[in-house]
Structure 1
Amino acid sequence: MMIRDAHAIDRPRERLRQNGAQQLTNQELLAIIFRVGIKNLSVTQLAANVLTHFEHLHDIKEATIEELIEINGIGEVKAIELLAAIELGRRVSAKQVQNRWTIRTPDDAATLLMSDMTNLKQEHFVVLYLNVKNQVIHKQTIFMGSLNASIVHPREIFREAVKRSAASIICAHNHPSGNPAPSSEDIDVTKRIQHAGEVLGIELLDHVIIGDHQFISLKEKGFM
């Protein structure tokens, strides 16, 4: 049975209109994104297939089109629609958080970054640019790849800081292994950035390493 054949009160679209999106299940929200089913599979069954395929809901944001179309009933169009919806939601969430976020502790920085960085398969080096009130005015990924001193050059970091009139910065990168323990290279890079900031008068407040839903602050550990 297609979703259009269901009684109106049971349709996810009708439930959203009457009760709000917060009241819908994950399956119902996916059904709205997919809109219609296919032959022999209703749209709610398609949504159930997707949820069964992934161990956790947040795993969907890391899925590729190729992985999604392996799921019974999901073709390229539905895979693209789903990934587009997830990316739009991520951008809205990130913008809302970033616009109001003030960094007072390493936990604040980690909370801002954790959802985007904890499940990345490749290392990302990200910089938060702060004003004099320690409010985030900009976030930028400086590079992707293995962290080493030759790649992470302070000029790339502080060029953006000068452009944004940032008073201070916080650096962060992820360890895809899940273990946030700093390497000797992590510490060396941090000291180079810290020294460059001292010369320019733009303080490096911290360097946070993100692991699997955990983090380490190099400042708290005494490495800077």
Structure 2
Amino acid sequence: MTGELLIREMHDSDKPRERLINYGPDKLTNQELLAILINTGNRNESSISLASKILKNLQSIRELRDVTYEELTAINGIGKAKAITILAFIELAVRMHTHSREEDKYIRSPKDVTDILMEKIRYYNQEHFIVLYLTTKNMVIEEKTLFIGSLNTSIVHPREIFREAVKRSAAAFVCVHNHPSGDPTPSEEDIEVTKRLRECGDLIGVDFLDHIIIGDGKYVSLKEMNYI
């Protein structure tokens, strides 16, 4: 038995659900919001106590997006249904930060790219190399993750990128990858990969518009740095 009150023992005005109704969701703590998702505790612990257990090992709330089903269900009191609810909510929150409407998916500047991908990949623990394939009017045909891992010239194969471009009859493409460190400064490998893709694009006749590196809320355009 913990020293914390169970939800049923709280005064109505102190319960997370009632606080949300009375004051709005923005007034609730992360713990209270997560407790609402958890819904019920068990005989010994409240949903607030279970929420606290989930959050206690996180450096910040953004790390919640990396929590796995196995990690959640390892917590006594978090079963299959609660874990699924939490993971579904996390994924929904991620999708809300990405643009899904076709009319929004036109690439006219680096910011258009980061509007689509910043919130999706900025917190990844591994580098993800993503290609946006475009029409002649720079509308996104498809967003495709081609490589995952520490990027270098042996991993990023131009043939894979251009094979996908031909398959989709793409007129142009933009490459994007994240730096898990949060610092988007391009490495020598990033620059070398960019130069190779530029040369291949010139040869094949598919426009390589930009290579954008995403950090923690920041980005760098290698086109703006004159590498393309």
Give the TM bin, normalised by the shorter chain.
0.7 to 0.9
How is 1:162-177 mapped onto 2 (pairs within 5 angstroms)? 162-177=166-181
Q: Which amino acid in the other structure matches residue 136 of structure 1?
A: V
Q: 1:101 Cα shift?
A: 2.7
User: In structure 2, do the counterparts of structure 1 residues 172 and 28 end up closer, same or farther at CA, with 3 Å as the change threshold?
Assistant: same
Q: Deviations over 1:200-223 (max 9, x none)?
A: 322111001122332211111111
Question: Is 1:185 equivalent to 2:189 in the alignment?
Answer: yes
Q: How far apart are residue 165 of structure 1 and its match?
A: 2.8
**Runs (5+) with no aligned partner, structure 1:** none
Q: Secondary structure at the match of 1:125?
A: strand
Shift of 1:166: 2.2
Q: Cα distance, 1:138 vs. partner?
A: 1.4
CA RMSD between the two structures: 3.2
Q: 1:42 to 1:97 in 2, by over 3 A?
A: farther
How many corresponding residue pairs?
Answer: 223
Partner residue, 1:109: 113
Cα distance in structure 1, aligned partners of 2:108 and 2:60: 31
1:126-145 aligned at under 5 Å gives the runs 126-145=130-149
Unmatched tracts of structure 2, length 5 or more: none
Secondary structure, aligned partner of 1:96: coil
TM-score (norm 2): 0.78
**Alignment correspondent of 2:68:** 64
Contact 1:3/1:43, CA 8 A, preserved across alignment: yes
Q: Percent identity?
A: 50
Question: Residue type matched to 2:155 in 1?
Answer: I
* Residues 8-41 of structure 1: per-residue CA shift (max 9 Å, x gap): 8876667878998778664444233212111222
| TM-score (ref. length: structure 1) | 0.79
Report deviation, 1:191.
Answer: 1.7
CA distance in 2 between partners of 1:69 and 1:211 (Å)? 31
Q: 2:78 aligns with which of 43, 61, 75?
A: 75
1:45 counterpart residue number: 49
